[in-house]
Amino acid sequence: MTKSQPDELTLSVAERDLVRREFMSRFGEAPSVMEGFHLKRWVTGPNRGKPKLTAGVQSLLACGLITIIDEGHWPRAMFTAEGLLALKRLASDRRLFDPERHRSLIDELMHIPEL
């Protein structure tokens, strides 16, 4: 991913899949994009207690689209201003987010003002 121009912000296929999984409606309620999403922790080994960063999370982090907040029991991945802008652009493309499964995510992103 290149971040040279704000108009070029895009997410890779793996990153889009991660976002779709984390923000789809479950049990009738969808998580808020402004609250980010939970990460698991390593239970054993040299990284014990640290947030477990999947390839998609590592990629978003490396591009500056998320930050990791490690307070409390569950660490969270929170979208930066650039990350929210990239998500907002994706939400406008019906092919990338199913309007029925991701309605709350799309609605929330469309109400975020341009940064």
In a domain, 103, yes or no: yes
In a domain, 22, yes or no: yes
In a domain, 3, yes or no: no
In a domain, 58, yes or no: yes
In a domain, 77, yes or no: yes
pLDDT of 5 higher than 60? no
Structural domain boundaries, residue 84: 10-110
Q: Total domain count for the chain?
A: 1
Return all residues near 114 (Cβ < 8 A) that are at least 6 apart: 85
Rg (CA), the chain: 14
In a domain, 70, yes or no: yes
Which pLDDT score, from 0 to 100, does residue 69 have?
A: 95
Which pLDDT score, from 0 to 100, does residue 8 have?
A: 53
How much is the average pLDDT of 67-83?
92
Handedness of CA 64, 19, 58, 79 (dihedral sign): positive
Handedness of CA 101, 108, 65, 75 (dihedral sign): negative
Which pLDDT score, from 0 to 100, does residue 82 have?
A: 92
In a domain, 115, yes or no: no
Which letter does DSSP use for residue 41 in this model?
A: B
How much is the average pLDDT of 56-74?
92
If one compares 65 and 13, the residue with the highest pLDDT of the two is 65
Confidence of residue 47 (pLDDT cuts 50, 70, 90): very high
Say which amino acid occupies 90. L
Of the candidates 104, 55, 60, the one whose C-alpha atom is nearest the C-alpha of residue 82 is 60
